[in-house]
């Protein structure tokens, strides 16, 4: 009898541990990242729960002089390791705990500032974060996510 109780609790413990490691909130997400300098340029990316992505690049400054808009777009499907890397970085950055805005204190000059915007939709909730370049008050995990996002977009747009 004691053996059956031990087996039951062992199985219960194993099932509980497996259930805790797979959170539905971290498996299904939509991640939107953009970097913009008003009237100069904008790059944006959207990652969807089905591993598809869409990237857009707009060169407003040069388009004004040429008299026509020439945005660059790239669409595709993330490789499994790329999707897992984004999922891991998003989870580690704990975006839900971050403030909504960084670097927009009164008195700071905003002319031609580069602005980073993140939108994360997970578990039916959406979190928006806006960061003015030069701000240093956010977590290091966020820095890694922003750097990875920028490198990913550059790589895909160069293909």
The band of 27, judged by pLDDT with boundaries at 50, 70 and 90, is: low
Find the mean pLDDT for residues 57-86: 85
Query: Which pTM was predicted?
Result: 0.75
- pLDDT one-digit tens code per residue, 106-116: 655 666 688 99
Q: Which of the four pLDDT bands, split at 50, 70 and 90, describes residue 146?
A: very high
pLDDT of residue 106: 61
pLDDT reported for residue 108:
59
Only one residue has tokens 């008195």, namely: 107
């Amino acid at each position: 009898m004691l053996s059956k109780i031990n087996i039951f609790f062992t199985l219960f413990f194993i099932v509980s541990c497996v259930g805790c490691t797979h959170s539905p909130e971290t498996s299904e997400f939509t991640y939107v990242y953009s970097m913009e300098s008003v009237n100069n340029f904008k790059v944006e990316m959207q990652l969807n729960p089905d591993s598809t992505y869409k990237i857009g690049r707009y060169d407003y400054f040069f388009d004004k002089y040429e008299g026509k808009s020439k945005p660059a777009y790239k669409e595709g499907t993330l490789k499994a390791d790329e999707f897992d890397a984004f999922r891991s970085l998003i989870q580690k950055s704990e975006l839900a705990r971050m403030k909504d805005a960084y670097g927009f204190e009164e008195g700071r000059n905003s002319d031609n500032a580069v602005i980073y915007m993140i939108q994360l939709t997970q578990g039916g909730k959406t979190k928006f974060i806006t960061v003015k370049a030069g701000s240093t008050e956010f977590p290091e995990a966020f820095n890694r996510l922003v750097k990875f996002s920028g490198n990913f977009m550059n790589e895909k747009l160069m293909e």
